[in-house]
Amino acid sequence: MQEDILIRLNEAIRVADTKSGMEIVERGLMEGFCAADLVNRACIPAMQQLGDLWEEGEIFLPELMLSAETMKAVMAILTPKMAAEQKERTTCARIVIGTVQGDIHDIGKSLVAAMLEAAGFQVRDLGADVPLEKFCEEAAAFQAHIVCLSALLTTTMMGQKTLIDMLAQRELRKKVKVMVGGAPVSRRWAEEIGADGYGENAIEAVRVARQLTQGKA
């Protein structure tokens, strides 16, 4: 029966059945699962499977957004439990995310924010057309581990580079990792401007964010 809980939780996330997902989690915890087990053996594999289906062209943005909602609801139950279970919390790192100033594109960034939140990160979404100054302020105030910058325009991509320089000037650069993304953004660009991470899509962004925050409180 133990295996059954994992399979059903995985399934609930993949088909975006939030109500069942929450019920299964509660049941799993009653039956003696620890929260980290449910996350690592059901939730994360479900996200990875969704990512594969996305790349294949079997599912699209609507399915991914809905599954992210289910995942968020499930993680809202599991994250505090994990914190209690282990001193070293795995995925409670804080992230500030937004689309850089001058760029009003919101959709891709919102999907990444939803997926990060679904993965258990504490996410502060600043929206689109965000002044670079505001990224710095929020990163400091929120004590963010990562700042994620989206840009969909080749003109506003430059803002990603400027922000990295601004963080360095304020001696925040050592405290906060920078991830960049957006349609015209490439791995090469990320390396060129000295970003710590790049995600080609929302799924990869979550993977990279996990790598960058391993061992972080």
Residues at the contact surface with other proteins, assessed by CB under 8 A: 55-63, 65-66, 101-107, 110, 128-129, 153-159, 184, 186, 188-189, 192
Taking the complex as a whole, the smallest distance from the CB of residue 65 to other proteins amounts, in Å, to: 5
- Nearest Cα neighbor of 95 from 149, 151, 157 is 149
- C-alpha–C-alpha distance, residues 31 and 25, integer Å: 10
Record the tokens describing residue 81, joined without a space: 């439990």
Taking the complex as a whole, the smallest distance from the CB of residue 209 to other proteins amounts, in Å, to: 21
C-alpha angle 47-52-58 in degrees, rounded to nearest 5: 110
Taking the complex as a whole, the smallest distance from the CB of residue 142 to other proteins amounts, in Å, to: 24
Taking the complex as a whole, the smallest distance from the CB of residue 163 to other proteins amounts, in Å, to: 13
By beta-carbon proximity to other proteins, the closer residue of 159 and 181 is 159
Taking the complex as a whole, the smallest distance from the CB of residue 107 to other proteins amounts, in Å, to: 6
By beta-carbon proximity to other proteins, the closer residue of 161 and 210 is 161
Residue carrying structure tokens 């963010």: 144
- Nearest Cα neighbor of 189 from 139, 147, 151 is 151
Taking the complex as a whole, the smallest distance from the CB of residue 179 to other proteins amounts, in Å, to: 17
DSSP string, 29-95: HHTT--HHHHIIIIIHHHHHHHHHHHHHTSS-HHHHHHHHHHHHHHHHHHHHHHHHH-SS-SS--EE
- C-alpha–C-alpha distance, residues 5 and 21, integer Å: 10
By beta-carbon proximity to other proteins, the closer residue of 175 and 187 is 187
By beta-carbon proximity to other proteins, the closer residue of 66 and 140 is 66
By beta-carbon proximity to other proteins, the closer residue of 93 and 203 is 203
- Nearest Cα neighbor of 177 from 201, 208, 155 is 208
By beta-carbon proximity to other proteins, the closer residue of 83 and 131 is 131
